Amino acid sequence: MVALACVPVEPSDVARLYRRIEPLHSMIYFAPEVGEELTELGIGHPRAQYFAQRSAAMGPVGPGVVAATYYNFNPALVVRFVPVVWMSAPPEDVLNARLRAADRALRRLLGDAVSSRECERAGVLARRASSACTPEGRPLYAAHADLPWPDEPHLALWHAVTLLREYRGDGHLAALLAAGVSGLEALILHTATGAGFLPEVAQATRGWSAEQWGEGVAGLRARGLVDDGLSLTAEGAAFREHIEAETSRMSAAPWEHLGEDDRAELAEVGGGLTKRLLAAGAFPSGVFAPGADRTPKS
């Protein structure tokens, strides 16, 4: 029997589907449970906790690898915490702590829905989607794909969405490189949309000085991508839209693999869980710009 070819999914639909479920993973970067678990291991600084939990799947890597795969962090900031963090706890302990934190956080945020049919079904569909991801040129995805699958349905869902997120993220870096955008410039362009991190939050958490940030802004202004008010110009908006479309094009395989009916079901059940998670306060105020809307759209 000849296998049927996957029907292409438009980049805008890929991005929409991704947004409906992505918070089910990214809540982990704001969950107090992570801080509690990693502090128990001797990793107390918030930046060290972030670098440890996201890098641990790659093993005890050095600062160069972390800065390269994260892209928009100041390498000087990474050096402060990596590889020293591995002296506090080995990667395998960090991974176990992260999974425990994900379990606790999802139970808190989703309540009874954590053991619902919808949660189990979303996990099945997200895992099926992730089976179409390939590791070539995607180091963070590949590292997490090597980890064992959790047994509990809500954790299997979290792991599947983690794979989809890192797969898309690795593709995004490829799109940025092809467009000639540095990590700092990518961060500034993200804030300039008015729908992402607040500029002061992005600058501080990614470790860029005021001087470095100003130089990055000046370079983007010289290219006609941002205006004097640090908003995207028409050219800048089109430029960023192209990068996002390329990111989605390179990240379409999981969604094409699902097929139309299963995509629609995952959007419905996964989006419903995301709405519940957001309503429970998964993301703190004062981090994202007022225009940022993490609510999944139909």
Mean pLDDT by 10 residues, the chain (298 residues): 66 96 97 98 97 98 98 97 97 98 98 97 98 98 98 98 98 98 97 90 95 97 95 97 97 97 97 97 80 53
Q: Is residue 240 part of a domain?
A: no
Q: Is residue 15 part of a domain?
A: yes
Q: Is residue 201 part of a domain?
A: no
How confident is the model at residue 246, as a pLDDT? Answer: 98
Number of domains present in the structure of the chain: 1
How confident is the model at residue 3, as a pLDDT? Answer: 43
Residues 269 and 116: their CA atoms lie apart, in Å, by 10
Q: Is residue 184 part of a domain?
A: no
How confident is the model at residue 1, as a pLDDT? Answer: 36
Q: Is residue 162 part of a domain?
A: yes
How confident is the model at residue 4, as a pLDDT? Answer: 47
Q: Is the dihedral of CA 134, 242, 195, 191 positive or negative?
A: positive
Exposure string (b/e) for 36-56, b if CB count within 10 Å is 16 or more? ebbeebebeeebbbbbbbbbb
Closest CA to 163 of 200, 136, 188, 138: 138
Residues 30 and 283: their CA atoms lie apart, in Å, by 6
How confident is the model at residue 292, as a pLDDT? Answer: 61
How far is the CA of 277 from the CAs of 80, 132, 145, 283, 287, in angstroms?
33, 27, 25, 9, 17
How confident is the model at residue 293, as a pLDDT? Answer: 58
- Asked if residue 148 lies in contact with residue 99, where contact means CB atoms within 8 angstroms, the answer is no
Locus of tokens 């990596």: 82
Instruction: State the virtual CA torsion across 248, 216, 197, 171 in degrees, nearest 10.
Output: 20
How confident is the model at residue 290, as a pLDDT? Answer: 62
Instruction: State the virtual CA torsion across 232, 236, 238, 239 in degrees, nearest 10.
Output: -140
How confident is the model at residue 287, as a pLDDT? Answer: 74
Q: Is residue 86 part of a domain?
A: yes
* Cβ partners under 8 Å of residue 231, min gap 6: 192, 194
Residues 143 and 219: their CA atoms lie apart, in Å, by 34
Full domain range(s) for residue 110: 11-178+245-279
Q: Is residue 217 part of a domain?
A: no
